[in-house]
Amino acid sequence: MERELLLLGLLRQARMYGYQLHEFIERDLATCTDLKKPTAYFLLEKMARRGWISQAEERDGNRPPRRVYQITAEGEQQFQRLLRDNLGGYSMTRFAGDVGLAFADALPPHEVLVLLHQRHTALLADLAAARAVPQHEGSIQLVVEHRIVHLEAELHWLDDVMARIAAAARKSAQSNTNVERSDPYD
């Protein structure tokens, strides 16, 4: 339901057409959500059917007509309900990268370390991008900060995981060495 909440929240601030909504989301909210164009149109139509928003054809000069969406009184009610549900609740966050980690022991540790280093680099780039986002007005700023907090925690954790894997790999390499070279001082 977050996507409906998002669209209603934007339409609450101004009437817009689908493309405009999509552009705004891509430009200003890419940090907090994604919403592909077909999904946006799908949800807009659904909400229009339910009477949460109203559509109107509008033309601008020679351009082909476009559907402008506007929130209704019913839509405002639903917005408030969805907003209260969202703020008051908490739904488990899923991390796509966890699945790989869960099976990390299927690869040799040194390769895992190389791959996690790549992940680390990608994380750093994402953090830099989040830090580069210009100040937003109002609560949207919170979301950017949230993202930064999360990315920083993620980086620390990833460093820790890599250190532990490296330590385990060293230890096992060491015992191999011991066996192969029978070197009790290594």
In this structure, the number of other CB atoms found within 10 A of the CB of residue 129 comes to: 13
113 contact partners, CB below 8 Å, separation of at least 6: 162, 165, 166, 169
**Of these partners, DNA, its own copies, none, which one is at the site of residue 93 (CB under 5 to 8 Å by kind)?**
its own copies
Residues in the chain: 186
The 3-state DSSP class for residue 131 equals helix
Q: Give the separation between CA 41 and CA 57, rounded to whole angstroms.
A: 15
Applying CB under 7 A, does 121 fall inside the site for DNA? no
Applying CB under 8 A, does 104 fall inside the site for its own copies? yes
Among 12, 15, 37, 66, binds its own copies (CB under 8 A): 12
Among 14, 56, 128, 149, binds its own copies (CB under 8 A): 149
Applying CB under 7 A, does 39 fall inside the site for DNA? yes
- The edge-to-edge listing of strands for the beta sheet with 66-71 is 16-17, 66-71, 53-58
Q: Give the separation between CA 97 and CA 128, rounded to whole angstroms.
A: 19
Applying CB under 7 A, does 66 fall inside the site for DNA? yes
Chain residues binding its own copies by CB under 8 A are 2-3, 5-6, 9, 12, 29, 32-34, 79-80, 83-107, 111-112, 114-116, 118-119, 122-123, 126, 138-140, 142-143, 145-147, 149-150, 153-154, 157, 161
Chain residues binding DNA by CB under 7 A are 3, 17-20, 23, 34-39, 41-43, 46, 60-64, 66-67
